[in-house]
Amino acid sequence: MGGANGKSGLRLWRNARLATMAEGAGLGIVEKGAVAVRDGLIVYAGAEADIPASFGQGIETVDCAGRWITPGLIDCHTHLVYAGNRANEFEMRLAGATYEEVARAGGGIVSSVKSLRAASEDELVSQALPRLDALMAEGVTTVEVKSGYGLDLDNEKKSLRAARRLAGERPVTIRATCLAAHALPPEAKGDKDAFIDLVAGTILPEVAAEKLADAVDGFCEGIAFSPEQIARVFDKAKALGLPVKLHADQLSNLHGAALAARYGALSADHLEYTDEEGAAAMAKAGAVATILPGAYYFIRETKKPPVDLFRRHGVKMAVATDSNPGTSPLTSLLLTMNMAATLFGLTVEECLAGVTREAARAVGLLDRTGTLEAGKSADLAVWDIERPAELVYRMGFNPLHARIWRGQ
C-alpha cells in the first residue's frame, strides 16, 4: 500500500468496511466505507457513496477488497523499556512463590532496576525495539511507555530518553510516562518518605524541565507507596503541569482509584480491588479504568476488576498489555483483548473501544487519534477479517493486512 499521494495530495482507502469507533455509535460500522487522508490527517471517514465530489480528481486510491479498517490500535500502559528479563522469577513462582514473596526476597521490580542501571541508553533502545515491533505488527500505532526501573535521577532520565527515541526508530507515536514512584531502590535503605522527597523534589522537576515525560504515574500499594506518598508525587506533577495516572488497587484496596480521581487522573490502572466508592469517584472525574488482564493472568490473581461497577457508574474502560518483565511479559494487544473478554467478560465492543478510543483518552490523545473521524491523525489498521469479533476471538493469530501511521 505504498506509493506517492495523488496529485491532490489525497489518498483514499475504499471498498472497505469501517469500525470508526466514534463515540456513542457502538463500533461505528460503515459497510461500504472509505477513508480519505491528506497530509497525514483523516479528511473523511464514512460511506463511499457520500464522498465529497471535490475529492474526485487526481486522488490515489487503495482498493481494500472488503477488508475492515479500524483505528490504529493503542497500547496505553506498557513498561516497554527494560533490560534483561525475569524468567528466573517465573520459575520461582511456578515452584510456589507468590509475586509479593518474590518481591520481598529482593527479586521483583528491584532486580529489573539493577539490570536497567547496568544498561546503556542504546542498549535499552535496542532491547525495547523487538517488543515494540511485536506490538506494531498487530496494528498498534501509539504506545505509552513508562520509566520506573531507573529509580534515580540519571536512570529515570535514561529510561525516558530511550522511550522517546523509540519514536525516531519506528513509525509510531510514543507517550512517555515518568513512573519514578514505582518501587524503593536499595540505596534508599527502606526510607520511603526520603525517596518520595527525591522523586518530587528532584526527579520530576528535572524530567519536566527537559520535557522527557508526558505524564506522571505511581504505584500505590503495600509493597510500594502509600496514598499519602503518592499524593505528594501528584501534587508536584500538578504544579509542573503534568497529568497523572496511577497503578491502583492491584493487590489490595488502598483506595487508589479514588485518590487518582481526586487528582483528575487520565486513568487508574489494574483496579482488581477497587470498590464502588472508587468506581463512582472515577466516573465523576472522568478517569479511564485501564484493565490489564495480562498481569492478572500471569500472577494468577483471582480477584477480578469490578467491570460491572465500572459499567453501572459509566466509567470508560481501556485495555492494555502492561508489557513488563515481572507481571506481564506480553506484547500482543490482540491476545490482551481475548483475555479481557474471556477472563473479565468484556464485550467485543468494550475490547475494541478499549484499545482504540478509550486508550486514546487514557493517554490524553483522544483529540488526535483513537477513532476514524475527520481531523484526526490517519492512524489505521486494515484487517483480513469478516467481522470485528475475530480480532478478539483468536489467540495467537494476526490478521493484520496493513498498518498506516499518519497516512503512511
Q: Which triple of cell numbers denotes residue 274?
A: 477497587
Q: Applying CB under 5 A, which part among 106-114, 193-201, 274-282, 317-325 lies near Fe ion? A: 317-325
With beta carbons less than 8 A apart as the criterion, state whether 72 and 405 touch. yes
Q: What letter represents residue 164's amino acid?
A: R
Residue 336 binds to ligand DI6 (criterion: CB under 6 A): no
Residues in the chain: 408
Q: Which does 164 bind (CB under 5 to 8 A by kind): ligand DI6, Fe ion, none?
A: none
Residue 156 binds to Fe ion (criterion: CB under 5 A): no
Residue 109 binds to ligand DI6 (criterion: CB under 6 A): yes
Residue 218 binds to ligand DI6 (criterion: CB under 6 A): no
Instruction: Please state the φ and ψ torsions of residue 179, each to the nearest 5 degrees.
Output: -110, 50
Nearest Cα to 151, choosing from 121, 105, 184, 115?
Answer: 184
Q: Which is nearer to Fe ion, 322 or 358 (CB)?
A: 322
Residue 272 binds to Fe ion (criterion: CB under 5 A): no
Q: Which is nearer to Fe ion, 290 or 377 (CB)?
A: 290
Q: How far, rounded to the nearest angstrom, does the alpha carbon of residue 197 sit from its chain's CA centroid?
A: 28
Q: Applying CB under 6 A, which part among 164-172, 320-328, 349-357, 382-390 lies near ligand DI6? A: 320-328
Residue 325 binds to ligand DI6 (criterion: CB under 6 A): yes
Nearest Cα to 149, choosing from 189, 177, 191?
Answer: 177
CB atoms closer than 10 angstroms to residue 4: 8
Q: Which triple of cell numbers denotes residue 399?
A: 490478521
Q: Applying CB under 5 A, which part among 316-324, 345-353, 369-377, 381-389 lies near Fe ion? A: 316-324
Q: Applying CB under 6 A, which part among 43-51, 323-331, 366-374, 390-398 lies near ligand DI6? A: 323-331
Q: Which does 357 bind (CB under 5 to 8 A by kind): ligand DI6, Fe ion, none?
A: none
The Cα–Cα gap between 136 and 128 comes to 12
Question: Which of the residues 319 through 378 are near Fe ion (CB under 5 A)?
Answer: 322
The Cα–Cα gap between 14 and 120 comes to 46
Give the shortest CB-326-to-ligand DI6 separation in angstroms: 2
Report the phi/psi class of residue 293: left, alpha or beta, with left for phi > 0 and alpha for psi in -120 to 50: alpha
Residue 237's SS3 state is helix
Residue 247 binds to ligand DI6 (criterion: CB under 6 A): yes
Q: Which triple of cell numbers denotes residue 40?
A: 497525514
Nearest Cα to 261, choosing from 275, 242, 247, 278?
Answer: 278
Q: Which does 327 bind (CB under 5 to 8 A by kind): ligand DI6, Fe ion, none?
A: ligand DI6
Residue 112 binds to ligand DI6 (criterion: CB under 6 A): yes
Question: Which of the residues 257 through 286 are near ligand DI6 (CB under 6 A)?
Answer: none
Residue 215 binds to ligand DI6 (criterion: CB under 6 A): no
x/- mask, ligand DI6, residues 73-102, rule CB under 6 A, reads ------x-----------------------
Between helices 153-169 and 109-118, what is the axis angle to 10°? Answer: 70
Q: What letter represents residue 305's amino acid?
A: P
Q: Which is nearer to Fe ion, 224 or 309 (CB)?
A: 224
Instruction: Please state the φ and ψ torsions of residue 230, each to the nearest 5 degrees.
Output: -65, -35
Question: Which of the residues 5 through 64 are near ligand DI6 (CB under 6 A)?
Answer: none
The Cα–Cα gap between 353 and 375 comes to 19
Residue 389's SS3 state is coil
Residue 324 binds to ligand DI6 (criterion: CB under 6 A): yes
Residue selected from 28, 243, 326, 354 as contacting ligand DI6 according to rule CB under 6 A: 326
The residues of the shown chain that bind ligand DI6, judged by CB under 6 A, are 79, 108-109, 112, 182, 219, 247, 250, 295, 322, 324-327
* Residues making contact with Fe ion (CB under 5 A): 322
